[in-house]
Amino acid sequence: MPETAAEEAREGRVPFQLIEVEGPSMVPTLYPGDWLLVQHGARVRAGDVIILRHPFQQDLLVVKRIAERREGGWWVLGDNAAAGGDSTVYGVVPDELVLARVRGRLRRRRPWAEGEGQRSVGAVLSWAFSAVRPVRSVRSARSVRSSASRRLRAR
């Protein structure tokens, strides 16, 4: 019997799952507190944002963007190069550690400032309009590599 929801999904019983983002590695695409709609068993390719098991800590789930296919698996990068924790640290990620593809995100609602009172209808509608979005893939591995190299030069 599977021990986690991720294992149940991988076996085909749960095709979609909600996962909360923790940590800054995918800022500005994803922020801590965002919720992700992920699809287990979906085909992945360069440019997709995925959920994977950390190669050195199998109980830790990680969200990264696939940069390219390499011998032995996928090279993955975070959108926030300063946060680290991607293939530059742990190398190529084998296919069996890729669990799901991110399909969308629900941006968390920022807490009200003290003394602000209730939010206006316009502010709530603005949040609602921008909160639910698909997570776009970068369809060209070349684009992922060039944006990563720009970030590395800027460090």
Which of 100, 44, 113 minimizes the C-alpha distance to 73? 44
Predicted local confidence at residue 140, as pLDDT: 53
Which of 50, 32, 30, 54 minimizes the C-alpha distance to 40? 50
* Long-range contacts formed by 116-121: CB under 8 A, 24+ apart: none
CA separation, residue 135 to residues 7, 35, 77, 118, 122 (Å): 23, 11, 15, 30, 25
Does the pLDDT of residue 30 top 50, yes or no? yes
Which of 17, 44, 19, 21 minimizes the C-alpha distance to 31? 21
DSSP state of 93: B
CB atoms within 10 A of CB 30: 24
Residue-wise pLDDT for 84-143, tens only, equals 899 999 999 999 999 999 999 998 776 654 445 557 787 777 777 777 778 878 765 455
Asked if 72 and 92 touch (Cβ cutoff 8 Å), the reply is yes
Predicted local confidence at residue 122, as pLDDT: 79
SS3 string, 22-77, reads CCCCCCCCCCCCCEEEEEECCCCCCCCEEEEECCCCCCCEEEEEEEEEECCEEEEE
Residue predicted with more confidence, 125 or 17 = 17
Residue-wise pLDDT for 48-88, tens only, equals 999 999 999 989 999 999 999 999 999 999 999 999 899 99
Distance of alpha carbon 6 from alpha carbon 133, whole angstroms: 23
Residue predicted with more confidence, 110 or 150 = 110
